[in-house]
Every structure is written in C-alpha cells, then in structure tokens.
Structure 1
Amino acid sequence: MSEITKQDLIEIIHDISHKIDELVAKSAKNEKQIEDLKSQNKDLKQNNQDTLEQIKEYIQELEQIRNHYVDSNNNSE
C-alpha cells in the first residue's frame, strides 16, 4: 500500500475546494434562475388576470348588444 504524502493531501484539498467553488457558483446561478422564473410566473398570473377581466367586460358588452338587439326586434313586431 502506498503512503499518502502531505503534497497528496494538499492536492486533494485544493481539488475539493475547487469543486465546492463550482457548486457554490452553480447554486447561485440556479437561485437566480429560480428568482427569474418566479418573477415571470407572477407577471404571467397578472397578465392572465387582466385578460380574464377584459374577457368578462367583452362578454358584458356582447350581452348588452344582444339585449338591445332582442329589445329592438321585439319592439318592431
């Protein structure tokens, strides 16, 4: 069995340190992506709500037009 030298341990520690730095950087990048996705999701939810409100308004307008048309036809008979 071969002996592990002080230099071997130093190299292992440097390698571990480098890998930890890579993981920390990757974690920070992932956190940024998560925050971006949360922001996009919030914007999409608001846009969907705005669109839904607009659709409801259009439906009300169409119902008013229909009612007016029905009333006009009933009055002309």
Structure 2
Amino acid sequence: MDTSVHSLSTLFDQLGLPSTAAAIELFIALHQPLPPEARLAEALFWNEAQRAFLEEAISEDADWAELVDQLDARFRG
C-alpha cells in the first residue's frame, strides 16, 4: 500500500508536467476556466496517458482523487 503524502506538485510530477509552484500556476492560468459541464479529464490539453490517470484516480477513488478534485476546482476558480 502506498502511504506517500501527495501534493499538487507530486500530482504534476505524476502527470509528467513541470511541478514547481510557478509552473503549476502558469499551467492553470493558461488553461482555465474549464466549462462547467466538462469533466477535468475531458479537457483537450491532456494527453491520453494523463487523461487515463485522471479518470482512474477519480473512478477508483484512489489516494490521488482528493488532489485531482482540488486541481479541478482550481481550473474552475
């Protein structure tokens, strides 16, 4: 069982994206806002692997799910 403590930075690492605070803020700023009816994983800026990871995190209620939800909220805020 993975008992790692995850952060937004480690989520971006997992997605293969730059994970500094500045890089995360820039990525979100460049891609927000998401339409209210769109699911995060459906956004066009993800590649297939990223999309699959996000879908799996939510559908399996994985330990990443809370961070994916937080990221989703950031894209809509």
Provide the TM-score with structure 1 as the length reference: 0.21
**Structure with more of its chain in helix, by fraction:** 1
